[in-house]
Amino acid sequence: MSGPGRRLLVVAGRIRNEDIALVRERSSIADVIGEYLQLRNAGGDNLKGLCPFHDEKSPSFNVTPSRGLYFCFGCEAGGDVIRFVQEIEHLSFSEAVERLAAQAGVQLRYEEGGGRGPRQDGGQRARLVEAHRAAAEFYTGHLNSPEGAIARRFLSERGFEPADADRFGVGFAPREWEGLVRHLRGRGFADRDIVAGGLAKEGRRGPMDRFRGRLMWPIRDLSGDVIGFGARRLYEDDDGPKYLNTPESPLFHKGSVLYGADLAKKEIARRRQAVVVEGYTDVMACHLAGVPTAIATCGTAFGDDHIKVLRRLLMDQDEFRGEVIFTFDGDAAGRKAALRAFDDEQKFVSQTFVAIQPDGLDPCDLRIRHGDAAVRDLVAARLPLFEFAVRSAIEQHDLDTVEGRLSALDAAAPVVAAIKDRSRRHMYAVNLDRWLGIMDEQFVLRRVRELAARRHGRPQPGNGRAANGRAGHDRAGGGRAGDPQAAPQRPAFDPNDPEVQRERELLKMAVQCPALLGPAFDEVPAGAFIAPPHAAVRAVIAAAGGVAAAGGVAEWIAHLLETAPNEQVKELITRLGVEPVRSAQVSDDRYANELLARIQERQLTRMIADAKSKLGRLNPVESPEEHTRLFGDLVALEQQRRVLRERGLGSQ
């Protein structure tokens, strides 16, 4: 962020008010905040994104460019562009102004005295950022030195040209003990800052270079500042680790840094895709091969803080629209890493995939041997992470025997049961039956349901009071056990399930603006809704004549409340009538059509799975007419789903 060759000076006083005002004026709050998170239009002059100051599933962080302000309705963080930089980078007010001024090209003036004594320019963080910028220049300069030939040869053998090294800022650390330390001292940096930033470590005779005789990759934060380095061993007599990274420092926190994110962030936001690879050369290979959304962790496993950064870049709020693709080596270690990623999958709203090259080549080696197209093909051939995890469990067993199939079921069922999204869990349970060749779908479904109930802490029919019709009658306020209008006190559904949330949004539309849904909504039965309370509301709407019979909204809601069978259902209808509809990104009618199409498509998918299951169990020789009828039904259902996707889902 700072200009080239800037020296650390001692200056007096405080920044002039008119210069602070000029920095605010020239620093677009949307552009500055957009360096850290993906912002989407929220209607009018408002922008919205996932808050960087607290973890949230849906965006409550609002930016109003015309007023130069931001505010989060979730954690109530707010202020102007200077305040944002202070909070996100942990800077003082003056440091934030100086950082923005460097970006905006504003020459700051300081008042003499101003009630404050002399201070060092920039504070520790600014000094460390400047030191890292100078170190990066030092390393890139040595790449083209005679000693740097070994580093240039390493890059060439991996298919990288000199221009590629320039693009990624790759450099070389000479084998001197104090080469960088002397260089930084000559630029005015104090030993304490050189050591604090992780560029050097204390030796018996003072600071000595941390990186010597290594290929160097600068690691940048989202705003483009160099905050650390990744160093690859080049010499055989180097007894250090193959890769050595900057240690934890005031700048560098490896658990939240993603290498290449500064280069990839715009494409990640545009394509709604992030490709997670394992190393620096893999990031380079992917970007050069036409996969500009590739990023990598820096010497640590992919974790929660990485997920938070990625979610903000992806604007990870719309179910099934974004993609996070993990690439791993095809060896046993790579497969183990992919299965570890399964634990993180459900922390995303976006879909997650895994891409593994069968011959074990990583993206860099794949590009060397088979070219750029092979890297693109690897990403394109991604497999849903859930499917990969299930199939990996199955592969360990002999499916040619009954015992082997049952053992595979016992191994794979817990994996399926761990899926939080109820709809996807059901579909993978159906697929599990097919992949195992058991051909008893209900048997497999029961096994998965038992494990899911145990894992997610939900009662099962036949266990305790949940199986007692009288208890169900009492909790529901007078309804029959199993009646969709009788909303149970402890519903057997996950309210955070994206499918359940989508149902809720659709019912909000049906209550608040029924005219937008029309007759198509009335064709969706109550049984299509996963959550029993939602099915109860859908049944009330049907009993009230359906949305096609709705008049004015106030009268419509009053009619629904009169039709509701008990207080619990009335309460839910009331809540659905006052909660805001989450349709800020698109028009209300389009949002309604998308929601309705999703529910209809889900219902058709369920019916198609049932038809396929029945066909799989039917002997066409023994029951040719039944087989022909079922096949015809299946074709018709597939056609309906295709038309539905073209009409409603294809526009997304």
pLDDT value at residue 481: 35
| Per-residue confidence band for 128, with pLDDT thresholds at 50, 70 and 90 | very high
Convert the pLDDT of each residue in 550-584 to its tens digit: 877 766 876 787 788 887 887 788 677 656 677 64
Convert the pLDDT of each residue in 613-638 to its tens digit: 777 777 776 677 777 777 777 777 77
Question: How many CB atoms sit inside 10 A of residue 168's CB?
Answer: 20
pLDDT value at residue 139: 98
Question: How many CB atoms sit inside 10 A of residue 95's CB?
Answer: 19
| Angle, alpha carbons 638-640-644 (nearest 5°) | 115
Over 70: is that where the pLDDT of 23 sits?
Answer: yes
pLDDT value at residue 248: 93
Scored b (16 or more CB within 10 A) or e, 287-324 reads bbbebbbbbbbbbeebeebbbbbbbbbbbbbbbeebbb
- Sequence ranges of the domains in the chain: 10-120, 124-252, 258-390, 396-456, 458-582, 588-652
Over 90: is that where the pLDDT of 511 sits?
Answer: no
Convert the pLDDT of each residue in 164-181 to its tens digit: 999 999 999 999 999 999
Q: What is the mean pLDDT of residues 52-72?
A: 83
> For 523-585, what is the HEC assignment?
CCCHHHCCCHHHHHHHHHHHHCCCHHHCCCHHHHHHHHHHHCCCHHHHHHHHHHHHCCCCCCC
Over 80: is that where the pLDDT of 160 sits?
Answer: yes
| Per-residue confidence band for 651, with pLDDT thresholds at 50, 70 and 90 | very low
pLDDT value at residue 118: 32
Class of 10-120 in CATH: alpha beta
pLDDT value at residue 343: 63
Over 80: is that where the pLDDT of 276 sits?
Answer: yes
Residue 503 · residue 494 · CB < 8 Å: no
Instruction: List residues bridging with 69 in a β-sheet.
Output: 64
Class of 124-252 in CATH: alpha beta
Give how far Cα 394 sits from Cα of 406, 445, 465, 632, Å: 10, 16, 36, 32
Over 60: is that where the pLDDT of 470 sits?
Answer: no
Residue 367 · residue 284 · CB < 8 Å: no
Distance (Å, whole) CA 239 – CA 541: 73
Distance (Å, whole) CA 252 – CA 128: 10
Over 70: is that where the pLDDT of 92 sits?
Answer: yes
Residue 282 · residue 158 · CB < 8 Å: no
Compute the mean pLDDT over every residue in the chain, rounded to the nearest whole number. Answer: 80
In the chain, what percentage of residues exceed pLDDT 90? Answer: 29
Residue 32 · residue 97 · CB < 8 Å: no
**DSSP states of 116-130 as a string?**
---EETTHHHHHHHH
Over 80: is that where the pLDDT of 209 sits?
Answer: yes
| Fold of domain 258-390 | Dna Topoisomerase Vi A Subunit; Chain: A, domain 2 (3.40.1360)
Judged by average pLDDT, the poorest of 4-13, 22-31, 99-108, 446-455 is 4-13
Over 70: is that where the pLDDT of 148 sits?
Answer: yes
In the chain, what percentage of residues exceed pLDDT 70? Answer: 80
Convert the pLDDT of each residue in 319-348 to its tens digit: 556 788 988 765 566 566 666 666 665 566
Judged by average pLDDT, the poorest of 128-137, 150-159, 185-194, 640-649 is 640-649
